Structure 1
Amino acid sequence: MSARLHRFGRWCAALALAALAGSAAALDYIETPSLQAQVDAGALPPVAMRLPATPRVIDLPAMGRELGRHGGTVRTLLGGQKDIRMMTLYGYARLVAFDPDLNLVPDLLESFTVDEGRVFTLHLRAGHRWSDGQPFTAEDFRYAWEDVLNNPELSAVGLPNELVVNGHPPRFEVLDPLTVRYSWDAPNPDFLPALAAAQPLQIAIPAHYLGQFHRRYRDVDELKELARSLRLRNWVSLHDRMSRWYRPENPDLPTLGPWINTTAPPAERFVFVRNPYYHRVDSAGRQLPYIDSFVLDMSTTSLIPVKAGANAADLQARYLRFEDYPFLKEAEQRHPFDVRLWERGQGSTIAILPNLNVQDDVWRALLQDVRVRRALSLGINRHEINQAVYFGLARESADTVLPESPLFRPAYASAWTHHDPAQANALLDAAGLDRRDVDGIRLLPDGRRAEMTIETAGESTEETDVLELVVDHWHALGLKLFVRAASRDVFRSRMIGGQTLLGVWSGLDNGIPTRDMSPEELVPTTEQQLHWPQWGMYYENGGRKGVAPTLPAAQELVDRLRDWCAATTPEQREAAWHAILQIYSDQVFTIGIVNGSPQPVLVSRRLHNVPREAVYNFNPGAFFGVYMPDTFWFTEEGR
């Protein structure tokens, strides 16, 4: 393990202990200065009355971090209005949450119990309130269950997969105003990780607010008129608009997170302010978050590195890539920020995705031939790419779990990744591509030249730099590769529709899983998996749409996922994971190139408690979220 990761591991261990430590019983709470005037005017209760009876205490000194001070505004840059979902990630307030050691701990919940892996009892914190001051109780779970998740108009596609086991929903019970229970007849290992995910399963929503937009609780004619005034089709569209929580566009929607949106879209700047009823405190009695507000400025994504380098952000990682690092380090000399290098947590920083469901019959048969996929992988000189693009700082690897994962095995990372043009050529010959034209380009079985177009979302010159080298590597195998860029939406649509032969995306979103996290990302389970979108659609829709997997190895992945879902012991779940990892690596369903590549993170020198080394990942981790931005603080008053 590198020195950086060793230090990160010590930091994680300290955080894991501190997150579980501390008692609010002996704390004298300290009022937040920016809220004092509202408290004095009677517009807000004092801090002791705003907090739950047992808030979550974060013991920062036990983590090796500093107790902070209230105040300040963090500026960050985003690529468009949809990106305000980053605040749901950065806030990372969840019913249960991952700590940095990837253990599940209570967060919004006071506690939870699990019996036989199938009965989950959730205990809420007495006195916990939504951001508007209304109580957070079992009624919010009941409303989500009865009035939304089981309402065919609001949930037309049915229950989320994480709530269905062997085709059956859970039994939901309200045991008392602060206790709810979900029970299945068989184990549901997906349930708790889904609650802790970066984009979590939402089983509690503010009933007191959303009920006014539900026809069960309000006159239908009134709802029709309200929907019409907002240019919405009906009460369903109205409820959907008002309840959108992951992308928090409705400033009136109560939240349990650390910051609240105050800006209605459309806007070029969104301002999030502190939640006065947030449930966490530090060990000195200060209610978190320390930071008063976040300002999110919208920008063209290509300009974000330039603006960040001109000191337009206090905390920035999104839309920064390693290619921006030299420029940002140079700008660091002129402005009061540091540029740190975290490690990206994806299975592969850049992965090539052979579309196994491409419409072209000849190419589909070739790409479904494992010899072709192995040959494409063997033909790539990963060492050259690592040196030329990443200055040797990345790891040359297949698209698989990272060394930081307890499931890692070196054989998964090295499978079919050594540069061996001779073996690659032999595999292509054996797959029926043994004829060439006068230019040395291989001929397909139908006589066409082996010309392939690989499409990208066109969002990074890093991808372009990598692909320029891959073009040369594959040309040496007699394969002609063309690169075409499209917008992200067009690119994804073409991959799903089978119009694109090869795509470029990142590898596994979660490169650091444990045996208790679902391995579904390595199995055809959703159309969003662009290397087998039709197979994923088939699984996702219960066979009503898409196409059943035609490769035995892909079907075996589905069977091993079922083994994991049915497992009753940690050992059984781990065995299922390794079976899936072995198949996925050996079959080269996606072609990884490097992982562990550096992620630039720009941090104001006035901003404290941001780790110097860390893993930057969407799920698990929620980018900054797992490091608790509610504990970041400024050394002086912010802007």
Structure 2
Amino acid sequence: MNRFQGYEGLVRWTPDWSPSPIPNVAEAFEIGGGGRSYTFKLRKGMKWSDGKPFTADDILFWYEDVVRNTEITPVPPSWMVVGGKLGTVTKVDDLSVRFDFTQPHGLFLAQLAQPGADAPVRYAKHYLSQFHKKYNDRIDDLVKENNLSDWVQLFQNKGGSDEDSVRYGIKSQPLLHPWIFTSPPRGGSSHAIAERNPYYWKVDPQGRQLPYLDRVEYNFLQGDNTNTLTLMVLGGEIDMEDQFFATPENKSVIADGMEKGDYRLYATSPTEANEAVIQLNLTHKDPVKRQIFQNKDFRIGLSHALDRQEIIDLVLLRQGKPWQAAPRPESEYYNERLATQYTEYDVAKANQHLDKAGFTERDGGGFRTGPDGKRISIGIDLDSGRPIFVDMVQMVKDYWEAVGIHVSITSMERSLWEERVRDNADFDATIHRFGGGSGEAVVLDPRYYFPSSGNSMYAAAWQAWYNDLSGEDASAGVEKPPAAAQRQMTLYRQLLLTPDAAQRKDLMAQILQIAAEEFYVIGISLQANGYGVVRNNFHNVPKTMPASYIYPNPAPSNPEQFFIRT
């Protein structure tokens, strides 16, 4: 929903995604103390969607009564923590607040501009305080009336939750967004309606109040409905969309149907590290598979075994370029070695590296055997909702089996896949995408460059150690990483404390150089430009926009200024 409905934080990205965020809900901001202090001046006269004033007290309510309340927030937002210490928020006056940190917070503004970091301006005190035990002596009665287990569940169900369907989908909850849900997207719903916020605070250059559109309707398709969505596009049933149906193989069909469907195309410029990233589980629970997958020569051999150009020709319809998971050529963080190494399709080199890894023996079926004498087999788990991955992995299987590595494939519904590969020590490998490939996304989402977050599925136990989830405990899925990864983690922590952009760039360059040496994951292709569709009577949609969750398109392109004219 934040991609369209609710991108209204203190600061925001510009439509063209300039490196520095600009004021949004905040009218202005000042940086002090060498990056230790950030003061935000709020806009005079701003109101919540129910007409009540929005002031600094609302931000203080979020900080004092939500973030610092461990019942509601057992783990504080990562962007509020520097050097392991939670920052503080102080009310300067009714229209000013100051965020202070014990150390410089180099990425604070960039992190505030991301989706999900709108929390400081999403908790209306006059509304949510009635569901908070600090402010309501009858809170236990309300819990019983709503058939809930405790006051925290009540608070979260009434809007005090980070879950999208809650944070945007409570009819009575006041928000600062251009549209407010009148028919919310609650669990399993197939349809949702949001209507104009009469107190929305933005105006167009002529002084007319936004948004232009009176209402926005969402249709939710359950499971893998790529074909259904494609047919809806061709039938002219969708005003604007650029996800799920917009695959390379669909582009010619979608382009041919423009006149009949009465729509046009817009371009989405890629910002991700790769079209598809193969991730072997380097912290596998099985010690034998762990030993095999952590062998760099093994991974290099698998990489040389891939005919990337054939995958690009057949699956991506010649749209792409052999590429590892790396910043894009136009990125200021581009590292040629990381991007291009081991991308040559060479079966002889593949076999040489697999032999060098020590796996020279083969079983009766011609497959290589591991240190336990058993056949080396890689099970690849896939999200069935991404058909490109499904098509690619069939070819990957053939390439790897040609050099003696057995492969099995399991395709599953997205929620099952998420459960299977995130923080799970038992899966062998998976394929995913995203990750920072251009702009500030390289720094904000370095998932493939070192084990930095739960999205670093190739080394869940190492990223857990980095993020101090539960101490070093292999049985709990937490493990001290190798020295090279620890060096990257030290550099990234230093980067987070660096307000100077040039110094941050140098630190990130060092992290990427180590990533090139370690070669954690295997990429397939540099992403080509994507596309979306917009009906011909739907206006003010840019001809091109960055495509990224961090951006998060189309929100920074100002959907409140989109309009329909027949």
State TM-score, norm by structure 1: 0.82
Determine helix, strand or coil for the equivalent of 2:544.
Answer: coil
Structure 1 pair 270–390 and aligned structure 2 pair: CA distance change class (3 A):
same
Gaps in structure 1 of 5+ consecutive residues: 1-83
Report the CA distance between 1:130 and its aligned residue. Answer: 1.1
- The reply on whether 1:297 has 2:219 as its aligned counterpart is yes
Determine helix, strand or coil for the equivalent of 1:498.
Answer: coil
Native 8 Å contact 2:3 2:555 kept in 1 = no
What residue in structure 1 maps to residue 244 of structure 2?
Answer: 319
What residue in structure 2 maps to residue 552 of structure 1?
Answer: 483
Residues 385-404 of structure 1: pairs in structure 2 closer than 5 A: 385-404=311-330
Q: How far apart, CA to CA, are the structure 2 residues paired with 1:279 and 1:406? A: 36
- 2:79 counterpart (162, 175, 180): 162
- The reply on whether 1:567 has 2:498 as its aligned counterpart is yes
Q: How far apart, CA to CA, are the structure 2 residues paired with 1:190 and 1:228? A: 43
* Matched letter for residue 169 of structure 1: L
* Matched letter for residue 426 of structure 2: Q
Q: How far apart, CA to CA, are the structure 1 residues paired with 2:446 and 2:81? A: 15
Residues 71-150 of structure 1: pairs in structure 2 closer than 5 A: 84=1, 86-88=3-5, 91-99=6-14, 100=16, 101-115=18-32, 116-150=34-68
Residues 443-592 of structure 1: pairs in structure 2 closer than 5 A: 443-495=369-421, 496-508=423-435, 510-514=436-440, 517-518=443-444, 520-521=446-447, 522-544=449-471, 546-592=477-523
Native 8 Å contact 1:195 1:202 kept in 2 = no
Q: How far apart, CA to CA, are the structure 2 residues paired with 1:439 and 1:606? A: 61
* Matched letter for residue 572 of structure 1: Q
Native 8 Å contact 2:10 2:118 kept in 1 = no
- The reply on whether 1:378 has 2:304 as its aligned counterpart is yes
* Matched letter for residue 245 of structure 2: L
Native 8 Å contact 2:2 2:116 kept in 1 = no
Q: Aligned residues: percent identity?
A: 27
Determine helix, strand or coil for the equivalent of 1:571.
Answer: helix
What residue in structure 2 maps to residue 177 of structure 1?
Answer: 94
Determine helix, strand or coil for the equivalent of 2:391.
Answer: helix
The one-character-per-residue Cα deviations of 1:357-413 (angstroms, maximum 9, x if unpaired) are: 212211111111111122222221111111112222223211112234221233331
Report the CA distance between 1:197 and its aligned residue. Answer: 0.2
Determine helix, strand or coil for the equivalent of 1:541.
Answer: coil
Residues 311-350 of structure 1: pairs in structure 2 closer than 5 A: 311-322=236-247, 323-350=249-276
Residues 622-637 of structure 1: pairs in structure 2 closer than 5 A: 622-636=552-566
What residue in structure 1 maps to residue 181 of structure 2?
Answer: 261
Native 8 Å contact 1:349 1:594 kept in 2 = yes
Report the CA distance between 1:307 and its aligned residue. Answer: 2.2
The one-character-per-residue Cα deviations of 1:613-633 (angstroms, maximum 9, x if unpaired) are: 3321111x1121121111222
Native 8 Å contact 2:8 2:118 kept in 1 = no
What residue in structure 2 maps to residue 369 of structure 1?
Answer: 295
State TM-score, norm by structure 2: 0.92
Q: How far apart, CA to CA, are the structure 1 residues paired with 2:13 and 2:424? A: 36
Q: How far apart, CA to CA, are the structure 1 residues paired with 2:426 and 2:346? A: 30
The one-character-per-residue Cα deviations of 1:390-440 (angstroms, maximum 9, x if unpaired) are: 222223211112234221233331122222322221111111111123433
* Matched letter for residue 567 of structure 1: T
Native 8 Å contact 2:40 2:97 kept in 1 = yes
- 1:273 counterpart (195, 211, 215): 195
Native 8 Å contact 2:139 2:151 kept in 1 = yes
Gaps in structure 2 of 5+ consecutive residues: none
* Matched letter for residue 166 of structure 1: G
Native 8 Å contact 2:2 2:115 kept in 1 = no
Please report the RMSD computed on the Cα atoms of aligned residues, expressed in angstroms.
2.0
- 1:252 counterpart (162, 172, 176): 172
Structure 1 pair 138–567 and aligned structure 2 pair: CA distance change class (3 A):
same
What residue in structure 1 maps to residue 345 of structure 2?
Answer: 419
Structure 1 pair 465–353 and aligned structure 2 pair: CA distance change class (3 A):
same
- The reply on whether 1:230 has 2:146 as its aligned counterpart is yes
Q: How far apart, CA to CA, are the structure 2 residues paired with 1:515 and 1:460? A: 22
* Matched letter for residue 298 of structure 1: F
The one-character-per-residue Cα deviations of 1:111-133 (angstroms, maximum 9, x if unpaired) are: 00111111100110011111111
Q: How far apart, CA to CA, are the structure 1 residues paired with 2:219 and 2:516? A: 41
Determine helix, strand or coil for the equivalent of 1:618.
Answer: coil
Native 8 Å contact 1:270 1:296 kept in 2 = yes
* Matched letter for residue 450 of structure 2: V
Determine helix, strand or coil for the equivalent of 2:399.
Answer: helix
Q: How far apart, CA to CA, are the structure 2 residues paired with 1:408 and 1:278? A: 41
Residues 186-225 of structure 1: pairs in structure 2 closer than 5 A: 186-200=103-117, 202-204=119-121, 205-219=123-137, 222-225=138-141
Structure 1 pair 517–109 and aligned structure 2 pair: CA distance change class (3 A):
farther
Report the CA distance between 1:540 and its aligned residue. Answer: 2.6
Native 8 Å contact 1:379 1:473 kept in 2 = yes
Native 8 Å contact 1:137 1:178 kept in 2 = yes
Q: How far apart, CA to CA, are the structure 1 residues paired with 2:197 and 2:301? A: 54
Determine helix, strand or coil for the equivalent of 2:457.
Answer: coil
Bigger Cα displacement from structure 2, 121-130 vs 302-311: 302-311
Native 8 Å contact 2:425 2:477 kept in 1 = no
Q: How far apart, CA to CA, are the structure 2 residues paired with 1:589 and 1:595? A: 17
Report the CA distance between 1:543 and its aligned residue. Answer: 4.0
Report the CA distance between 1:169 and its aligned residue. Answer: 2.0
Report the CA distance between 1:258 and its aligned residue. Answer: 1.3
Report the CA distance between 1:605 and its aligned residue. Answer: 0.5
Structure 1 pair 506–336 and aligned structure 2 pair: CA distance change class (3 A):
same
The one-character-per-residue Cα deviations of 1:435-463 (angstroms, maximum 9, x if unpaired) are: 12343311111111122111101113211
Determine helix, strand or coil for the equivalent of 2:253.
Answer: helix
Report the CA distance between 1:86 and its aligned residue. Answer: 4.4
Report the CA distance between 1:542 and its aligned residue. Answer: 4.5
What residue in structure 2 maps to residue 308 of structure 1?
Answer: 233
Native 8 Å contact 1:560 1:576 kept in 2 = yes
- The reply on whether 1:593 has 2:524 as its aligned counterpart is yes
Native 8 Å contact 2:2 2:555 kept in 1 = no
Report the CA distance between 1:324 and its aligned residue. Answer: 2.7
Q: How far apart, CA to CA, are the structure 1 residues paired with 2:534 and 2:206? A: 25
Q: How far apart, CA to CA, are the structure 1 residues paired with 2:110 and 2:241? A: 27
Native 8 Å contact 1:374 1:587 kept in 2 = no
The one-character-per-residue Cα deviations of 1:137-162 (angstroms, maximum 9, x if unpaired) are: 100111011111001211122x2221
Q: How far apart, CA to CA, are the structure 1 residues paired with 2:496 and 2:266? A: 39
Determine helix, strand or coil for the equivalent of 2:264.
Answer: strand
Native 8 Å contact 1:193 1:517 kept in 2 = no
